[in-house]
Amino acid sequence: MRKSSDPIHMDIKEGKQKFIESWGKMASDWGINRTMAQVHALLLIAAEPMTADQVMSELDISRGNSNMNIRALMDWGLVHKQLRTGERKEYFYAEKDMWVVVRQIILNRKKRELEPMLKVLDEIAGVENNCPESESFCAVIRDIRKFSGKANQTLDALVKADVAWLGNPLFSLLR
């Protein structure tokens, strides 16, 4: 008999479902395609590499959708292809080390979004500043530019740290 104080264990199927759902939800909150994140989640928790067809039927999406999102994940460097000798089908697996995953996501978003913004801020910073009206404007732009530059540097350091410390035994403690 189960006492009411016992923890309630969900079964594995339920757990996987819930994880795929939340991972997708979080991604779409952050401006990333929900299905792409669900494919990612599915591959993250898969014990073995999967084919595009398996992903398609597991998530109940179309063949095209499955294919396109797997490609996108490979572009992001989060998923890789595995070829098996004697088999036509392509298998896919996700990078499972969270540190590497996060590093890869940072690299991508930095390049796609932060850096273009920095470029625009630099262009704007060249605005003529000769009237009191432009003073408030330039002050804010300078402040944002400074801040974004710092953020960019910090992310660079974070990303480089990983590479430099990979061979260092101390690094495993930090992860």
How many residues does the structure list for the chain? Answer: 175
Token pair 């404007």 is found at 137
Of 84, 24, 90, 12, the closest CA to residue 54 belongs to 90
Site string for DNA, 27-46 (x = CB under 7 A): -x----xxxx----------
| List 143, 154, 156, 166, residue binding a second copy (CB under 8 A) | 143
Whole-angstrom distance, CA of residue 92 vs CA of residue 134: 54
Q: In what order do the strands lie in the sheet with 50-51?
A: 50-51, 90-94, 79-83
Taking residue 29's Cβ as centre, other Cβ atoms within 10 Å add up to: 9
| List 45, 46, 61, 138, residue binding DNA (CB under 7 A) | 61
86 binds DNA, rule: CB under 7 A: yes
| Least distance to a second copy, CB of residue 63, Å | 26
Whole-angstrom distance, CA of residue 147 vs CA of residue 152: 9
List all residues 6 or more positions away from 165 whose beta carbon is below 8 Å from its beta carbon. 171, 174
Chosen from a second copy, DNA, none, partner binding at 6 (C-beta under 5 to 8 Å by type): none
| Least distance to DNA, CB of residue 26, Å | 13
132 binds a second copy, rule: CB under 8 A: yes
Contact 98, 108 (CB under 8 A): no
In the chain, what is the straight-line distance between the N-terminal and C-terminal CA atoms, in Å? Answer: 41
20 binds DNA, rule: CB under 7 A: no
| Least distance to a second copy, CB of residue 88, Å | 26
Residues pairing with 93 in the sheet: 80
Chosen from a second copy, DNA, none, partner binding at 84 (C-beta under 5 to 8 Å by type): none
- Positions that interact with DNA (CB under 7 A): 28, 33-36, 51-53, 60-65, 67-71, 86, 88-90
- Positions that interact with a second copy (CB under 8 A): 7-12, 14-16, 18-19, 22, 26, 28-32, 44-47, 96-99, 102, 112-113, 116-117, 120-121, 123-124, 126-128, 131-137, 139-141, 143-144, 146-147
